[in-house]
Amino acid sequence: MPTAITRAISPFLINCELTHLDRKPIDFEKAEDQHTEYENALRKMGYTIRRLAETPHLADGVFVEDTAVVFPEIGIITRPGAASRRPETESMADVLKEYRELRFIQEPATIDGGDVLVIGKKIWIGNSTRTNKEAIRQVTDILKPFGYKVSGVPVTECLHLKTAIAVIEDDLLLINPKWVNPDIFPGFNCEFVHPDEPLGANVMRRGNWALCPSAFIHTLHWLSEKGYDVISLDQSELAKAEAGLTCCSVIVE
């Protein structure tokens, strides 16, 4: 059964790590409601929800994507770029080991799962403020026996690589060309986000379902025009914590 691994929101979310945004008040109850609707949407898309143990003392704990990257052959437990987030990986490893054999990123490497874009056997990893070149080297070595090709991508103007790009189909990407150079992806069709929606590329898709924040009306329209069954979600509170849709789950197909 396809599974989405999630975690409850910490009551200390307001103290989350921020890189590109100014800190704003977060309505905790509203954020909880939005996260519940997110999980409900994932169920509609065909996933079983598996919640990790609650970690209320870890402000960023809900953003589980950054703790692991899952492949058909193995799972990789990351070493997040923000030191405050590294304790989040233990509970992820405890659950993910039920689904995959695990490998672990080692010091001095740092990597957030949000910087890892996977398309078949090709992987692009954002070299960002959270992910360094040593992590890219380690991931390359871990995945080489399985036939994956790993490439590093410079990321400077947004938090993670997947802040700026989403895989819509195996040959179709939704991308913010101001944040990631589309020339890095030869052979792919690249649809550019609307200039009024720089964060509009953080979309999730499974089968004919497409999940998109309600704030991105141009992206919603484009997905509908493409014929997808679009689920629109209010993610306004988590967005204040520099989060996108993919941040709040680790997908195990």
Question: What pLDDT band is residue 127 in, cutting at 50, 70 and 90?
Answer: very high
Percent of the chain with pLDDT over 70: 100
pLDDT at 94: 98
- C-alpha 170, offset from chain centre: 17
pLDDT in tens, 187-235: 999 999 999 999 999 899 999 999 999 999 999 999 999 999 999 999 9
- Residue % of the chain over a pLDDT of 90: 99
Mean pLDDT of 116-145: 97
Residue 8 to residue 221: CA distance in whole angstroms: 31
Q: What is the pLDDT of residues 20-32, one digit of tens each?
A: 999 999 999 999 9
- pLDDT, the chain, mean: 97
Distance CA 124, CA 195 (A): 24
Look at the pTM and tell me if it is higher than 0.85: yes
Q: Using one digit for the tens of pLDDT, what is the confidence trace for 72-109? A: 999 999 999 999 999 999 999 999 999 999 999 999 99
Residue range of the domain that includes 173: 3-252
Number of domains in the chain: 1
Q: Give the pLDDT of residue 156.
A: 86
Please list the residues that pair with 172 across neighbouring strands: 169, 189
**Model confidence at 56: pLDDT above 90:** yes
Average pLDDT of span 131-137: 98
Any idea what the CATH number is for the domain that residue 16 is in? 3.75.10.10
